[in-house]
Amino acid sequence: MIECETVIDINVQKILTKKAYTCSIVALVIGTLGLIAYLVLGTIINELWTEFFLIFALPFGIGLVYTITLNKNYKIFKNTVMVNCYAFGDVALTVTTIKNNENIGSSTIPYSTIYKTKEIDKYIFIFLNKNSAFPIDKSRLTDEQIKEIKTLLIKP
What pLDDT score was predicted for residue 155? 59
What pLDDT score was predicted for residue 78? 81
Q: Which amino acid is at 55?
A: I
What pTM does this model have? 0.76
154 three-state secondary structure: coil
Q: Are 98 and 85 in contact (CB under 8 A)?
A: yes
What pLDDT score was predicted for residue 100? 84
Beta-strand ranges (E) seen in the chain are: 2-8, 82-88, 92-99, 102-110, 116-119, 123-127, 133-137
Nearest to 31 by CA among 7, 1, 75, 61: 61
Instruction: Pick out the chain residues at pLDDT < 70.
Output: 155-156
* CA angle at 107 for the pair 103 and 111, rounded to the nearest 5°: 145
